[in-house]
Amino acid sequence: MRPPSKSQFALVDGNNFYVACERVFNPLLENKPVVVLSNNDGCVVARSQEAKDLGIRMGIPFFEVKHLIQSHNLLWFSSNYTLYGDMSARLMSLLGEFSPHQEVYSIDECFLDFGGMTRDPIAYAQAIRKKTKRYLGLPTCVGIGSSKTLAKLANHIAKKRPSYSGVFDWGACDNLSADSLMAQIQVGEVWGVGRRLNQQLQAMQIRTVRDLKYAEASLIRKQFGVVLERTVAELNGVPCLALEDTQSAGNIRKQQIISSKSFGKPIQHIQELREAVVSYTVRAAEKLRQQNSMCTHISVYIRTNPFSQKNPPYSNSITLPLILSSNDSRRLSQLVCVGLEQIYRPNYFYKKAGVMLLGIHPENQFQGNLFEPNHLQSRQQQARSQILMKTIDQLNQTYGQSTLMLAGAGLYAHWRMQAKQRSPNYTTAWNQLAQAQAN
DNA sequence: TCTGGGGTCCTAGGACCC
DNA sequence: TCTGGGGTCCTAGGACCC
């Protein structure tokens, strides 16, 4: 029996998204095993179907599959987030036309509100797929269900079972066949069941999606908390998670902003670490200003390579409060350097550092400092800082990133990460388009 | 040689208050 | 000597997601 709820969600997800983006501009990649790597060319983060068929697992370190380049003509790319981000924006804007409400959930997927739809949802979803393929060259799959969790699961089925032609709708399926389908899917595939929960559920003989759907809610609540209890309700068609409308782009304000990266090679000296964390801070502060916010705390961390056998491990972090909220790159960088001094230990080989902005609030809720001897002066400084930062942002936007930067970020940046095979920015830079043609 | 980066939410426990 | 109960707020840490 279907629940009385009228809510319907569709989850549209790009297939092998990063690989698909590369293929749009390079048709020679079609029908070949292709992978896209994480930053620093570290791990495999996207695989074409052919690469999956070679047994390349998601997240596997690249060096473990490098031999397939020779033996199976595996093709690989460094990640090009400028390209994927731009393609994503186009995809989301196109998908947004298909529903009054859209939640952009990640770079390659979004929920659409299918509630109260009078048309045949499957035909409608097929129309969506056709349009994204024709306009953007991107293949997608669509899952439809009365809760977000069911829509995610439906999308999984649409992807794994070609017989559904890329669209699966729980509504087209009676209870009995829905249950038997769920009995064929591992519980770990459910949205919200990660590695840890999977292990614990297995131990309780909850092995398939169907097992979880019919697990006793009170028991789940007691053992695992409200989050999984909600998941169980959602599997039963009771929507607990609302669609968070992100269609009007301005309303997403991040609660924390992180900028962190591994280094191309390990570094030892504090001066180089300082350059790295200052440049991350500048990047984070830019993001902060982009959403018209300020922060009250900043946190910095450093760590050695945890996989290294020969060097001793060390990692540490520190969170420092700002006396006055700020989004000024200079002030934040100063504080980050103070923090770095406190956690830095000599004689270690550092592999990664990061900066986190916390206590984020809108710019216009600026709190003056009561104890500031000259309150008015601090207001004026604040205003000048805003103007300077806006100017820097504009210049960098117009003339390219790092046109203007803090000297502390370092001019040479020997620690910068590796990206040996990045594709051109086909959609965002005229000069790189020309380069693509020449190739 | 080579192992990503950027987020969210929830909970437990301590500090502090009356 | 004896030392309550209930509330809020904050932070750290753990789980999850892509």
A153 CB below 7 A from strand C atoms: no
pLDDT at site A366 = 64
Nucleotide nearest to A280 (CA to C1'): B5
Over range A281-291, report the average pLDDT. 93
Radius of gyration of chain A (CA): 25
pLDDT at site A406 = 76
Percentage of chain A beyond pLDDT 70 is 92
Burial class of A209 by CB neighbour count within 10 A (0 to 12, 13 to 18, 19+): buried
Kindly tell me if the per-residue pLDDT of A409 is higher than 80. no
Dist CA A193 CA A208 (whole Å): 11
- C-alpha angle A352/A353/A354, rounded to 5°? 135
User: Is the pLDDT higher at A430 or at A172?
Assistant: A172
* Residue whose C-alpha is closest to residue A213's, from A190, A247, A241: A190
Q: For residue A364, what are the contacts with CB-CB under 8 A and spacing of at least 6? A: A292
A307 CB below 7 A from strand B atoms: yes
Angle between helices A217-224 and A195-203 (to 10 degrees): 130
> Phi and psi of A361, rounded to 5°?
-145, 160
Q: How many beta carbons lie within 10 A of that of residue A187, not counting itself?
A: 20
pLDDT at site A394 = 82
- C-alpha angle A214/A219/A220, rounded to 5°? 70
Residue A106 is encoded by which pair of tokens? 């990640």
Dist CA A413 CA A321 (whole Å): 28
Q: Are the C-beta atoms of A298 and A320 separated by less than 8 Å?
A: yes
Average pLDDT, chain A: 90
Dist CA A311 CA A300 (whole Å): 22
Residue A272 is encoded by which pair of tokens? 């180089």
Q: Are the C-beta atoms of A125 and A169 separated by less than 8 Å?
A: yes
DSSP state of A32: S
pLDDT at site A380 = 80
Q: A352: helix, coil or strand?
A: strand
Question: Which pLDDT band, with edges at 50, 70 and 90, does A308 fall under?
Answer: confident
Question: Which pLDDT band, with edges at 50, 70 and 90, does A104 fall under?
Answer: very high
Q: How far is the CA of A284 from the C1' of B6 (A)?
A: 11
User: Is the pLDDT higher at A402 or at A322?
Assistant: A322
Q: How far is the CA of A224 from the C1' of B11 (A)?
A: 11
pLDDT (tens digit per residue) in A48-75: 999 999 999 999 999 999 999 999 999 9
Q: How many beta carbons lie within 10 A of that of residue A144, not counting itself?
A: 27
CA distance to A28, A327, A361, per residue, from A385 (Å): 50, 9, 17
DSSP state of A424: P
pLDDT (tens digit per residue) in A207-256: 999 999 999 988 999 899 999 999 999 999 999 999 988 765 455 688 89
pLDDT at site A3 = 46
Question: Which pLDDT band, with edges at 50, 70 and 90, does A1 fall under?
Answer: very low
Dist CA A170 CA A150 (whole Å): 8
pLDDT at site A391 = 86
A162 CB below 7 A from strand B atoms: no
pLDDT at site A368 = 58
Q: A36: helix, coil or strand?
A: strand
A360 CB below 7 A from strand B atoms: no
pLDDT at site A436 = 57
Q: Determine which of A10-19, A134-143, A317-326, A366-375 has the lowest per-residue pLDDT on average.
A: A366-375
Global pTM value: 0.91
Kindly tell me if the per-residue pLDDT of A2 is higher than 50. no
Q: How far is the CA of A164 from the C1' of B8 (A)?
A: 32
The CB-side HSE value for A72 (13 A sphere, CA atoms) comes to 18
A197 CB below 7 A from strand C atoms: yes
Q: How many beta carbons lie within 10 A of that of residue A161, not counting itself?
A: 13
Kindly tell me if the per-residue pLDDT of A139 is higher than 60. yes
Please give residues of chain A from 207 to 246 whose alpha-adjacent beta carbon (CB) lies under 7 Å from any atom of strand B.
225-227
Kindly tell me if the per-residue pLDDT of A115 is higher than 90. yes
pLDDT (tens digit per residue) in A160-219: 999 999 999 999 999 999 999 999 999 999 999 999 999 999 999 999 999 999 999 889
The CB-side HSE value for A12 (13 A sphere, CA atoms) comes to 33
- C-alpha angle A106/A208/A45, rounded to 5°? 30
A192 CB below 7 A from strand C atoms: yes
Secondary structure in 3-state letters for A105-173: EECCEEEEECCCCCCCHHHHHHHHHHHHHHHHCCCEEEEEECCHHHHHHHHHHHHHCHHHCCEEEHHHC
Strand partners, A273: none
Kindly tell me if the per-residue pLDDT of A402 is higher than 80. no
Question: Which pLDDT band, with edges at 50, 70 and 90, does A4 fall under?
Answer: very low
